[in-house]
Amino acid sequence: MNLKVIVVVLALAGIVLGETRLVNTLYAGLALATGEGSSDMNPGITACLEPVVVVNKYFACGGHLDYAWLTATKPSDAPSDFRAGTHLWDIAFVPKALVPIAADMNLAFEIDPGFNMTLAYVHGGSFDDSEFKPHFGLTSGISYTVKVFSFAFKFKNVFLENDSVNWVTFTVGYQVN
């Protein structure tokens, strides 16, 4: 059976059987590059807005708009005004499996397919170059929510033509309903 049909059926069943509510969460935290070339990257900042509809106590779905900025370390032979890095934007569909622990606590597991945009740049001396490209991406993660605070760990992967860019984020979120 098609995955889209399963998601729609689960969402409709939850709406009929449960009490739906919208939860908007703002996240901020740390992004770290992983994989090949990650030793040349500095930790960066990340921020995310994630509106989701909680369908019942076991399922939620929505989306996220995520931003991360990773900068490159300066090579020893680079000019004094050297700057390089990548800005990463991620827009994704977010289905969540919820595991209730207590009345105001739960775990959430997610796998989010999405659309990513990357802006890579290098500046230094007389050299100046940047490249902006759209890509397919996939986020997988886990979060722990206590009342209105969420603590999340997510692994992000952007699929390029012959390679991929990977990073992890560690964030703290606050529900702003």
- Answer whether 101's CB lies under 8 Å from 119's CB: no
- Give the pLDDT confidence score for residue 79 in this predicted structure: 84
In this structure, what DSSP letter does residue 40 have? G
Chain-centroid distance, C-alpha 149: 17
Q: Comparing 38 with 62, which gets the higher pLDDT?
A: 62
Residue 69: pLDDT over 80: yes
Residue 15: pLDDT over 80: no
Give the class (CATH, top level) of 3-175: mainly beta
Q: Comparing 151 with 9, which gets the higher pLDDT?
A: 151
Q: How many helices (H) and strands (E) does the chain have?
A: 1, 8
pLDDT band at residue 138 under the 50/70/90 scheme: very high
Residue 26: pLDDT over 80: yes
- Give the pLDDT confidence score for residue 75 in this predicted structure: 83
Mean pLDDT of 59-77: 91
Q: In Å, what is the CA distance from 143 to each residue of 60, 101, 103, 107, 148?
A: 13, 13, 16, 6, 12
In this structure, what DSSP letter does residue 72 have? B
Strand partners, 60: 54, 96
- Give the pLDDT confidence score for residue 103 in this predicted structure: 87
Q: What is the bridge-based pairing of β-strands 44-56 and 164-175?
A: unpaired
Q: Give the torsion through C-alpha atoms of 134, 140, 142, 143, to 10 deg.
A: 20
**Residue type at 29?**
G
Spatial distance between the Cα atoms of 108 and 61, rounded to a whole number of angstroms? 11
- Give the pLDDT confidence score for residue 11 in this predicted structure: 61
